[in-house]
Structure 1
Amino acid sequence: MNLLTFQTNEELNQIGASIIASLVQTKQNAVLGLATGSSPIGIYQELIRLNEKGYVSFKNVRSFNLDEYVGLPAGHPETYLSFMNKQLFDHIDINKENTRVPNGNAENLEQECKLYDEMLADASIDLQVLGIGHNGHIGFNEPDQNLHGGTHIVTLKEETRQANARFFDSIDEVPKQAVTMGVGSILKAKMIMLVVRGADKADIVHRALTGPITTEVPASLLQTHPNVVVLLDKEAAKYFHG
């Protein structure tokens, strides 16, 4: 596991973007696993800049997103599809037909999960971008006695809904379920890039990366992966440096 700490967000964003851009420059048809939330936004902005300057092209790239809320209307600004379009896809030369986000409005959600797993099995993700939840979730894989390997429907923990309530007018509007890629699928990625920012994440990321491997802290399973790079701002890294 390669742990990198940055004094500024600009440095973190540049390094994160350069890791992704270098992969795509080397392998033009790379498959990217993408995440939502505030952690990767700066990296996406830097990728947009690199694309605009002609340093990297995403024309042949395919992408798979980790998760999507269940039941938000299509076009709702807080769907993760809307997020990805706003924060990245609308601003780079990727073919949107090559982008995949789980369909949280599928008539048959179980079938949607199965189809997503079939697509992932055919794709083989080269690099998976991850954030971490305050309770240690990755994707929407919440702490539990057992974790799903494949894509599945999850009931969101109250603390997860509270953490996401800032994006909605009230907690009542935050969906109670999501479709998420499973931990097994995440760990199949050839490389994983975990991005963590803020003092409020310092304790959980330290527990996840140095503590026992347990399904009660899903991110701790990243310790079993052979190729993980962790990008931390100085606040998130405080427990790693005494």
Structure 2
Amino acid sequence: MKIIIEKNFEAMSETTKNILLGHMSQDKRVNLSITAGNTPVEVYKKMVEIVKDSPNYANVHYYNFDEIPVENQAEGVTITDLRKLYLTPANINEENIHPLTVENYADQDKRLAMDGGLDAMLIGLGGDGHFCGNMPTTTSFENLTYKIKVSGEEPWFVPDMMETGLEFVTMGPVSVMRVKHLILIVNGEKKAEMVKNVLQGPVTEEYPASVLQLHPNLTVILDEEAASKLDR
């Protein structure tokens, strides 16, 4: 595990952008899975300035690692957010976008293997210790890509759009551990305690992201606030 601690959100975003572009600049097909949400917003702004309409990055293919369907909407929450944050502003060719959905999730691991596997995955950390859609008490460290049904009794925060009975899909711990390079980004003091738990505590399904400690090529990028409770 390599931990990089930057002064602030801007600096950690710049570092993350540089690492991703390093992967994307290779002279071969590059398979990249990226996260939605607030943490990577500045990363994507920086990347759009470089990637948009550039033939140098036509080799990069994009995959989402989880998805929440929305009734009467063509695409789910994750890919919709990724389009808004990065894929559309960067003018990514539709042929290079490979959505994971509740319809095709059972084929995700086979599809990735046939495509050569994921070269890198950018992920965030939930305040409850989840990563991707791997939630406390609902995941097993033995899961490949799988489907979860919302019961209404979850011990973790359930967003309003995830009504009881809703099914969503995520790449499981086994699938994620197959990625060649994992990049975990976390910012803010409110996640400092969980950062310590998942990086320096025991590997436990209570905090699903703790399994990332076992990955042979994990890079963690934090701002000083998120790193404030780590044992240095």
Give the alignment's TM-score, normalised by structure 1.
Answer: 0.84
Which secondary structure does the structure 2 equivalent of 1:91 belong to? coil
- The number of residues matched between the two structures is 225
Verify: 1:160 aligned to 2:160, yes or no. Answer: no
Q: Find the counterpart in structure 2 of residue 132 from structure 1.
A: 125
Contact 1:208 1:220 in 2 (8 A): yes
Query: What is the CA–CA distance in structure 2 between the aligned matches of 1:226 and 1:12, rounded to whole Å?
Result: 22
Q: Find the counterpart in structure 2 of residue 235 from structure 1.
A: 225
Verify: 1:214 aligned to 2:172, yes or no. Answer: no
Q: Find the counterpart in structure 1 of residue 114 from structure 2.
A: 122
Aligned letter for 1:215? Answer: E
**1:118: Cα distance to partner?**
1.7
Q: Find the counterpart in structure 1 of residue 61 from structure 2.
A: 62
Q: Find the counterpart in structure 1 of residue 25 from structure 2.
A: 25
Contact 1:67 1:101 in 2 (8 A): no
Unaligned runs of 5+ in 1: 107-111, 166-170
Contact 1:150 1:185 in 2 (8 A): yes
Q: Find the counterpart in structure 2 of residue 3 from structure 1.
A: 3
Q: Deviations over 1:73-122 (max 9, x none)?
A: 3257x711211111011122432222122224x3xxxxx22122221222
Q: Deviations over 1:36-77 (max 9, x none)?
A: 1111221111110122495x833121121111103443257x
Q: Indicate how the Cα distance of structure 1 residues 214 and 184 shifts in structure 2: closer, same or farther if over 3 A, else same.
A: same
Tell me which moved more, 44-53 or 83-92.
44-53
Contact 1:134 1:201 in 2 (8 A): yes
Give the alignment's TM-score, normalised by structure 2.
Answer: 0.88
Query: What is the CA–CA distance in structure 2 between the aligned matches of 1:53 and 1:153, rounded to whole Å?
Result: 35
Unaligned runs of 5+ in 2: none
Query: What is the CA–CA distance in structure 1 between the aligned matches of 2:183 and 2:78, rounded to whole Å?
Result: 19
Query: What is the CA–CA distance in structure 2 between the aligned matches of 1:52 and 1:95, rounded to whole Å?
Result: 10
Q: Find the counterpart in structure 1 of residue 86 from structure 2.
A: 88
Structure 1 residue ranges, 4+ long, deviating more than 2 angstroms after superposition: 70-76, 144-149, 155-160, 173-177
Q: Indicate how the Cα distance of structure 1 residues 199 and 179 shifts in structure 2: closer, same or farther if over 3 A, else same.
A: same
Contact 1:58 1:93 in 2 (8 A): no
Contact 1:141 1:154 in 2 (8 A): no
C-alpha RMSD of the superposition: 2.2
Query: What is the CA–CA distance in structure 2 between the aligned matches of 1:206 and 1:27, rounded to whole Å?
Result: 37
Contact 1:132 1:138 in 2 (8 A): yes
Q: Find the counterpart in structure 1 of residue 16 from structure 2.
A: 16
Aligned letter for 2:136? Answer: P
Query: What is the CA–CA distance in structure 1 between the aligned matches of 2:71 and 2:133, rounded to whole Å?
Result: 16
Structure with the higher fraction of residues in helix conformation: 1
